[in-house]
Structure 1
Amino acid sequence: MAWVLGQQLQSGKYTIQEELSEGGFGITYLARDNHGRYFVIKTLNDKVQRRPDFAKFQQDFLNEAIKLAKCSHPHIVNIQCIC
Structure 2
Amino acid sequence: MAYRADDDYDYLFKVVLIGDSGVGKSNLLSRFTRNEFSLESKSTIGVEFATRSIHVDDKVVKAQIWDTAGQERYHPLPPFVDHSSAIIFR
Query: TM-score normalized by structure 2?
Result: 0.35
Which structure: greater helix fraction? 1
- By relative contact order (CA 8 Å, sep 6+), the higher-ranking structure is 2
Look at both structures and tell me which one has the larger radius of gyration over its CA atoms. 2
